[in-house]
Amino acid sequence: MVLDTGSQLSWIQCNNKKVPQKEQPQKESFDPSLSSSFAALPCNHPVCKPRIPDFSIPTDCDDKRLCHYSYFYADGTLAEGNLVREKISFSSFQSTPPIILGCASQSDDARGILGMNLGRLSFPSQAKITKFSYCVPTKQAQPASGSFYLGNNPSSSSFRYVNLLTFSQSQRKPNLDPLAYTLPLEAISIGGKKLNIPPTVFKPDASGSGQTFIDSGSELTYLVDEAYNVIHEELVKKVGTKIKKGYEYGGVADICFDGDAIEIGRLIGDMVFEFEKGVEIVIPKDRVLAEVEGGVHCLAIGRSERMGGGGNIIGNFHQQNLWVEFDLANHRVGFGEVADCSKSAK
C-alpha cells in the first residue's frame, strides 16, 4: 500500500476466486472469501450516505445493495469498488480492529492506498494512532526501501517541529482542505538567496486558496503561480541558457533541462523551504532536479493551478532522506535529516 497523507480512504485491490482466472487482473490482490473478518457495508450504513462532513468520496448502491464508491485522485488515478470492514494485520500478533476501507474491483494502481490524513475515516483515526513517521529513500536507492513507524520514533529527540495550522468550521472555505496537514511555510530560498515571494502566498486566502500542506502521496511539489513564477524567474537568471525551450513535463512543470543534471544542480544550488521557528527542509543541490523521461531533468515543482488546485503541496520528492513525524496529539509535524533512509531502522 502507498502511504498517503493527502487522502482519507484506505483501499486495497480485491479479487474473487469465483471470477474466471482469465478475467482477473494479473497482479497481487486480496481475496475477501479467505478472510473471516471481512464484511461489506450495506447501502443503509451511515458512511454510505452521499454527503457527510469529512468524507467526500461519491457513494451509491450497487445491484447487490452494497455500498459502492468511485474516486478519482488529482493525478487521474481511479479507485472503484465497495466499502467494507476489515482488520489490517502487521504481524501474527498485531492487528487493528475492523476498520472501514475500500475493496477496489477496478483501479489504475494495484498497490492500494493507506489513507493517513486528518479525516475521521483515515487509518490513524480509525486505528486510534496518535503518532506516526516515515522516511522516503532517494530515487536512486536500490532497493528503494524506506521506513515507517507507528508510535514513537527512536530518533525523535533530534526532530524540529512546527505547529499544524487548524481551521474551525467557520473558517472553512471552498478551496480549503481542512483534513490536510497544513504547514506554516514562510519562504523559499535557492542558492542561499531568499526569493521575493510574499509570505501570504503560502497561507489560505478568503477562498481557501494558498493553503500549504505536506503530502506523501504526491511525487512533485506544487506551488501557486505567484510563487512558481518567482522561482522560474530566478532560475532563468541562474541557468536560463540551459533550460529546455518549449518543453513542459506533465503539463505542469516547465523548468526542465537536457545535459548533466549534477552540473546544473551545482549552478542552481541548494533549495530550502523555510517554516516558522527557523525550521527548514533543505534540498541539497544534487537532488533539486528529478529525472522525468528520456534523460530530461526538471525542477521537481509544478504549477498547482494546472492540476485544478489553488494550493501549495510539498511532495515526496522534497521529503527524501528526511524523517517526517506526524504528532497528532500535539498538532505538530517534525522533521529530522537522515544520511540514508534506505538504511534506517525499519
User: What would the DSSP string read from start to end of 115-127?
Assistant: E-SSSTTSHHHHH
DSSP 125-137: HHHT--EEEEEBP
Per the annotation, the verdict on 177 as an active-site residue is no
- DSSP 3-state assignment of 201? helix
pLDDT band at 16 (very low <50, low <70, confident <90, very high): low
* β-strand pairing of 99-107 with 11-13: parallel
| Residue appearing with cell numbers 494550493 | 311
Task: Give the mean pLDDT of 268-290.
Answer: 96
Highest mean pLDDT among 57-66, 77-86, 104-113, 153-162: 153-162
Q: Are residues 158 and 94 in the same domain?
A: no
Position 20 confidence tier, pLDDT thresholds 50, 70, 90: very low
Indicate if the pLDDT at residue 25 is higher than 80. no
Domain that holds residue 255: 152-343
Residue 139 lies in a domain: no
19 or 220, greater pLDDT = 220
pLDDT tens digit sequence for 66-110: 999 988 877 777 889 999 999 988 877 788 899 999 999 887 777
Both 217 and 82 in one domain: the answer is: no
**Cross-strand partners of 80:** 70, 106
Q: Is the pLDDT of residue 17 over 70?
A: no
The pLDDT of residue 15: 81
Which residues are registered as beta bridge partners of 70? 80
Q: Counting Cβ atoms within 10 Å, is residue 249 exposed (0-12), middle (13-18) or buried (19+)?
A: buried
Shared domain check, 164 and 113: no
For residue 211, give the nearest of 314, 105, 329, 323 by alpha carbon: 314
The one catalytic residue among 4, 177, 254, 327: 4
Q: What is the pLDDT of residues 292-302, one digit of tens each?
A: 988 899 999 99
For the stretch 234-245, pLDDT in tens is: 999 999 999 999
Report whether 246 contacts 287 (CB < 8 A): no
Q: Are residues 33 and 113 in the same domain?
A: yes
**Helix H or strand E segment including 194:** strand 193-194
Is residue 215 flagged as an active site residue?
A: yes
Q: What is the pLDDT of residue 335?
A: 97
268: part of which helix (H) or strand (E)? helix 261-268
Report residue 55's pLDDT band, with 50, 70 and 90 as the boundaries: low
- What the block records as the C-alpha cell of 160 is 524540529
Residue 72 and residue 209 in one domain: no
One domain, residues 117 and 167? no
The burial of 20, by beta-carbon neighbours within 10 Å (0-12 exposed, 13-18 middle, 19 or more buried), is given as exposed
* Cβ neighbours of 122 (radius 10 Å): 24
Kindly report the number of other CB atoms within 10 A of residue 285's CB atom: 17
Total number of domains constituting the chain: 2
The answer to whether residues 228 and 300 belong to one domain is yes
Asked if residue 147 belongs to a domain, the reply is no
Q: Are residues 167 and 308 in the same domain?
A: yes
pLDDT attached to residue 65 = 94
Among the options 177, 215, 254, 327, which is catalytic? 215
DSSP state of 320: B
All cell numbers assigned to 97:
480492529
Q: Residue 18: pLDDT above 70?
A: no
* pLDDT attached to residue 151: 93
Q: Is 337's pLDDT higher than 80?
A: yes
Residue percentage of the chain with pLDDT more than 70: 92
Determine the pLDDT at residue 180: 95
For residues 196 and 174, the model is more confident at: 196
Among residues 76, 96, 129, the one where a domain terminates is: 129
